[in-house]
């Protein structure tokens, strides 16, 4: 049993700085639909659960000066924010490509509600992003997030100043990887949009007296929905597999 001393409380607060900053940006946990107080309780609960396992990493910290303590707090907060931001890149890339997919399927102009984000988006986009967030919890990836946070203390020792260059390199690599993944997910819709718009343009040239665009719009939407029906499960499976592999790699 870990004795509760002033040093233990201080180290628990430092652990909370990294975990709280990560969960503040982590997809699913940071949704506006989750009350702020509930998010705070989650961060505190995860901190208390990890304190017995992470405390040995703080053995070298004994009565630091106020300046050193402030530096450690900032460093731990930035480290947690970096981890949460890299995870959020996956869902930001998915949201971006889902918007392009909705436009290609003729569903981009439909009004929506701010369900999983603070701003409203098309129902097509909301369906994909909410399904991905739900799959994250169904497949226990939120537990992998907590496990990755605990493992981060072996790779990034507490108290070390955040290497800005290494952090920017990791962010750039993660942005490149996630948007490449997004292109793989949305490529059927991009090809569909090019082919359909080319066919509609040719038909409009051949019969300029007929408003081909308004006549063809229902067929474009129907084709986009059929494409979503056949490719949606595989696209989400690819997304969750890549996201899970990144969490396991840390």
Q: What pLDDT was estimated at residue 111? A: 66
For 224, the 3-state DSSP assignment is: helix
Nearest to 75 by CA among 147, 28, 126, 18: 18
Using 50, 70 and 90 to split pLDDT, how confident is the model at 174?
confident
What is the mean predicted confidence (pLDDT) over 151-177? 78
> Which pLDDT value is given to residue 2?
57
Report d(CA 225, CA 1) in Å as an integer.
57
Range 92-103 burial, b when 16+ CB lie within 10 A, else e: bbbbebbbbbbb
Tokens of 197: 């718009």
Task: Taking residues 53-61, report their average pLDDT.
Answer: 72
At 79, list the tokens. 């480290």
Average pLDDT value for residue range 138-166: 78
Q: Which of 70-79, 146-155, 181-190 has the lowest mean pLDDT?
A: 146-155
Question: How far apart are the C-alpha atoms of 157 and 155, rounded to whole Å?
Answer: 6
Q: Which of 234, 16, 196, 240 is nearest to 106 (CA)?
A: 196
Quote the pLDDT of residue 220.
81
User: What pLDDT is recorded for position 28?
Assistant: 78
Query: Span 4-27, mean pLDDT?
Result: 80
Contacts of 156 (CB under 8 A, 6+ apart): 79
Residue 120 to residue 99: CA distance in whole angstroms: 12
Q: Would you put residue 120 in left (φ > 0), alpha (ψ -120 to 50) or beta?
A: beta
Whether the per-residue pLDDT at 60 is higher than 70: the answer is: no
Can you tell me the distance from the alpha carbon of 98 to that of 122, in angstroms, rounded to the nearest whole number? 9
Average pLDDT over residues 220-238: 86
Burial of 195 (0-12, 13-18, 19+ CB in 10 A): exposed
Find how far residue 47's CA is from the centre of its chain. Answer: 21
pLDDT at site 120: 66
What pLDDT score was predicted for residue 117? 65
**What would the mean pLDDT of 124-145 be, rounded to a whole number?**
84
- Cα first-last separation, the chain: 29
> pLDDT tens-digit profile of 175-223?
888 888 888 888 888 888 888 888 877 777 777 766 766 777 778 888 8
């Amino acid at each position: 049993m870990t004795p509760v001393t002033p040093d233990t409380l201080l180290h628990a607060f430092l652990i909370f700085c990294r975990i709280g900053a990560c969960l503040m940006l982590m997809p699913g946990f940071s949704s506006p639909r989750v009350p702020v107080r509930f998010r705070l309780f989650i961060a505190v609960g995860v901190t208390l659960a990890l304190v017995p396992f992470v405390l040995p990493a703080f053995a070298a910290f004994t009565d630091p000066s106020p300046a050193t303590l402030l530096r450690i707090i900032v460093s731990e907060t930035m480290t947690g924010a970096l981890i949460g931001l890299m995870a959020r890149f996956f869902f930001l890339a998915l949201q971006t490509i889902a918007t392009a997919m909705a436009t290609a399927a003729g569903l981009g102009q439909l009004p929506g509600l701010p369900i999983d984000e603070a701003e409203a988006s098309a129902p097509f986009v909301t369906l994909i992003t909410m399904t991905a967030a739900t799959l994250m919890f169904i497949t226990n990836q939120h537990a992998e997030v907590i496990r990755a946070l605990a493992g981060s203390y072996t790779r990034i020792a507490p108290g070390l100043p955040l290497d800005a260059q290494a952090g920017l390199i990791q962010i750039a690599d993660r942005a490149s990887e996630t948007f490449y993944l997004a292109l793989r997910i949305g490529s059927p819709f991009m090809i569909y949009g090019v082919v359909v718009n080319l066919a509609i343009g040719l038909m409009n040239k051949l019969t300029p007296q007929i408003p081909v665009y308004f006549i063809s719009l229902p067929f474009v939407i129907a084709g986009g929905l059929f494409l979503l029906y056949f490719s949606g499960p595989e696209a989400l499976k690819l997304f969750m597999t890549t996201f899970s592999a990144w969490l396991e790699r840390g």
